Amino acid sequence: MTAAARNSPPFAVHEKGVAVALLQAGLVQQKIPMPQTMKKGVPDGDYGSETVASVTTFQRNNKLAKVDGIAGRDTIVLLDRLMASAGKNVPPSPVPAPSPVDRNYEIGMTDPPLAHDPGAGAWGSKPSEASYIALKLGIIRVLPSRRWSSVLMRPDTWRTTSSTTMAGL
């Protein structure tokens, strides 16, 4: 793009790439229709006949001295200037957060009430118990020794076995 802006060399027909896609996107933002180029919703990056026609329209609409469909220095500099001036819009101010309903509310002073864990089901079990059992069973599958399996499979070791007692086995 920088080389084309210096006319060394300017964009010409059949060029492809990101720089051509940027040129096409700039033309579309200047309200120059490019239905074939934008068929997939993004510029195709191919400097074909539609891009030549669009560049020619841009050059003619902006009364450039050279109207030839080739995007050289004058075309790119003007397009860049128009794009930069269009980008100076002031962003919208953020919407203020709604104030708390209770005027006596203080951040961090009250917590929401804890509800029953719906994942515990009808049995009222703790989800962590099931997780630990599943984890242990997964470990058992990858252990090489039957000795470990016999220790870990005993239900009395599921809650009480610690790394220190297992290290002594």
For 24-82, what is each residue's pLDDT tens digit? 989 998 999 999 888 888 899 899 999 999 999 999 999 999 899 988 889 988 998 88
Tokens linked to 160: 């009480």
Checking if the pLDDT of 152 tops 80, the result is no
Question: Is the pTM higher than 0.85?
Answer: no
Sorted by where each starts, the structural domains of the chain and their CATH numbers stand as: 2-86 (1.10.101.10), 122-167 (no CATH)
Calculate the average pLDDT of the chain.
Answer: 75
Query: pLDDT tier at 115 (50, 70, 90 boundaries)?
Result: low
Query: pLDDT tier at 160 (50, 70, 90 boundaries)?
Result: very low
Please state which of the ranges 4-13, 63-72, 101-110 shows the lowest mean pLDDT: 101-110
